[in-house]
Amino acid sequence: MSSVGMHHELYDILGVEVDCDQTEIKKAYRRCAKQCHPDRNPGVDPDLFKKVSHAYEILSDPQKREKYDKYGEQGLHGTNNNMFTQDEQQPYDDLFSAFFGSSFDDFGEKTQNSKGENIRHVLPVSLEDLYLGKVINLSIERTVLVDRKKKGRKCLECDGKGFVTTNRYIGFGISQRWKSKCKNCSGHGQLFRTKKERKVLQVNIERGMEDKEEIRFEGMADETSPFIKPGDLIVVLEQKQHSYFSRVKNNLYIELSISLSEAIGGFELPVETLDKRILLIRNDQGTVIHPNMRKRIVNEGMPIRDKPTERGDLVVRFTVVFPPDHSISEEACARLRVLLPGIPRSSQVRVDSDRVVQVAICKELSSRQEDFANSEQPTFSRKTQKTEDSFCVIL
């Protein structure tokens, strides 16, 4: 190589000769990294470790090394790159981990910067629990270390490195090497004696909490290594289906069935709330309830978090149950035609006896036939008036 002696700063940092081979460079980097890594030697200047890692990064790559030997660092970057910032620390930490493995087994110690995986536990709760609030004792079984101070044994799956290397064939004679965390030791490089521990946690369900809401217990996941902080136990609330109430955010919904006479002539219906009160829902005579009409009862929904005096609304949807076929006599039908107002008919169509063909409604469509018929029908443009009002509630 020409001009070899002109650029030797990176060789001096690792303490090797300019004509050394790759094996000597690797040994030198291992030695220097142990001596100046800031996690193992807090008193050492952090820039020294950055310089050592930077030197190894260049000299361990044959192409970069050749350019450096000929042109120096200016030939690699176009400018001298001896200064490092705080943001540049991470790439060299990754280089150190890739070289030595994720565990510092050779050092006999490891930093506690990482955190273990979280565990999610689904806790079924009733709508009453979310309405009233409740404290539930949750019994869990977790893995804990037998002795935190005792050194673990080397993981044979990854040879103590914490990661395993696999080759993946891409095609056309090309393969790619992948590094992945060792599943046997969870990336620790060591295996530690563990035991099962049973613990009871108090899960505080606050009034107004929602379905799928999470309650976090920090550090209550499994312990796998003294060098890694345990993850969190995340309790996920799962609301069980209620017998007649449903919930959307802070509102409660209920469906009530009433007869045709009640829809026209008024009614009083009792409904038991989630806190065991009785709401007497009343509709006065003369106020007609149409099928699928909805009425709103203000401040009878779910409690609102962080607002103890406020609640959502209760929305009631009415299903009007019509009498069965032939259950009303001809005399009663005649009286109903007198009592109930009719629908105005268009007078534009003349009914001539020559053109009249009488037809009868003979059979009700099944649900499947009705869906098929509706898919073939155009969408009718019909103006409707909003029918959601407020109810009078008697406690």
Residues 393 and 275 in one domain: yes
30 and 148 together in one domain: no
Tokens of 19: 């004509």
State the pairing for strand pair 251-259/314-321: parallel
Q: Which amino acid is at 252?
A: L
Let me know whether 218 and 291 are in one domain. Answer: no
Specify which residues 229 forms β-bridges with.
Answer: 115
Residue 260, classed as helix, strand or coil, is: helix
| pLDDT at residue 217, as a whole number | 97
User: Same domain for 37 and 56?
Assistant: yes
Instruction: Give the separation between CA 61 and CA 95, rounded to whole angstroms.
Output: 13
Whether 17 maps to a domain, the answer reads yes
The pLDDT assigned to 362 comes to: 60
What token pair was written down for 5? Answer: 């002696």
Residue 148 token pair: 């935190």
Strand runs labelled E in the chain: 119-125, 134-145, 153-154, 163-171, 174-181, 190-191, 194-205, 214-217, 233-239, 246-248, 251-259, 267-272, 278-283, 294-297, 303-304, 307-311, 314-321, 389-390, 392-394
Distance separating the N- and C-terminal Cα atoms of the chain: 98
Residues 207 and 277 in one domain: no
Tell me, what CATH number does 284's domain have?
Answer: 2.60.260.20
Q: Are 124 and 223 in a shared domain?
A: yes
The closest alpha carbon to 263, from 244, 284, 280, 245, belongs to 284
Whether 365 maps to a domain, the answer reads: no
Residue 113 in any domain: the answer is no
**What's the pLDDT at 128?**
97
User: Tokens for 344?
Assistant: 């105005």
Which pLDDT value is given to residue 167? 77
At CA 261, angle to CA 260 and CA 262, rounded to 5? 90
Tell me: do 213 and 135 sit in the same domain.
Answer: yes
168 and 202 fall within a common domain: yes
> Where among 187, 211, 239 does a domain terminate?
239
User: According to the model, what pLDDT value does residue 380 have?
Assistant: 41
Range of the domain at 123: 119-239
Domain boundary among the residues 194, 220, 239 is at 239
Per-residue pLDDT of the chain (395 residues; tens, 9 = 90+): 444 445 788 888 888 888 899 889 888 888 888 888 766 776 677 778 888 888 888 888 888 888 888 888 877 765 444 433 333 444 445 455 545 444 444 333 444 457 888 999 999 999 999 999 999 999 999 999 988 777 788 899 898 888 888 877 655 556 667 788 888 887 778 888 889 999 999 999 999 999 999 999 999 999 888 878 899 999 999 999 999 999 999 999 999 999 999 999 999 999 999 999 999 999 998 899 999 999 999 999 999 988 888 999 999 999 999 998 878 888 998 888 888 877 776 656 666 667 777 776 665 656 555 555 555 544 443 444 444 455 555 44
Q: Domain containing 95 — which CATH number?
A: 1.10.287.110
Choosing from 239, 269, 304, the residue where a domain stops is: 239
> Does residue 110 sit within a domain?
no
Spatial separation of the C-alpha atoms in residues 126 and 238, rounded to whole Å:
8
Q: Which amino acid is at 111?
A: T
Q: Amino acid letter at 302?
A: M
The whole-number pLDDT of residue 291 equals 94
Give Cβ neighbours of residue 162 (< 8 Å, ≥ 6 apart): 97, 101, 102, 103, 155, 181, 182, 185, 187, 188, 189
Q: Which long-range contacts link 33-40 to residues 24+ away (Cβ below 8 Å)?
A: 33/96, 33/99, 33/100, 34/106, 34/107, 37/96, 39/104, 39/111, 40/104, 40/107, 40/109
Q: Is residue 352 part of a domain?
A: no
- Verify that 274 and 390 share a domain, yes or no: yes
Based on the fold, state whether residues 229 and 246 are members of the same structural domain: no
Instruction: With respect to residue 379, please indicate whether it lies within any of the assigned structural domains.
Output: no
Q: Are 138 and 203 in contact, with CB atoms under 8 Å apart?
A: yes
Does any domain span residue 107?
no
- Rounded Cα distance, 59 and 72, in Å: 12
**Count: domains in the chain:** 3
Predicted pLDDT at 394: 46
Q: Could you tell me if 276 and 395 are in contact, meaning their C-beta atoms sit under 8 angstroms apart?
A: no
Residue 375 lies in a domain: no
Nearest-angstrom CA–CA distance, 281 and 316:
10
**Same domain for 391 and 256:** yes
Looking at the fold, whether 235 and 281 belong to one and the same domain comes out as no
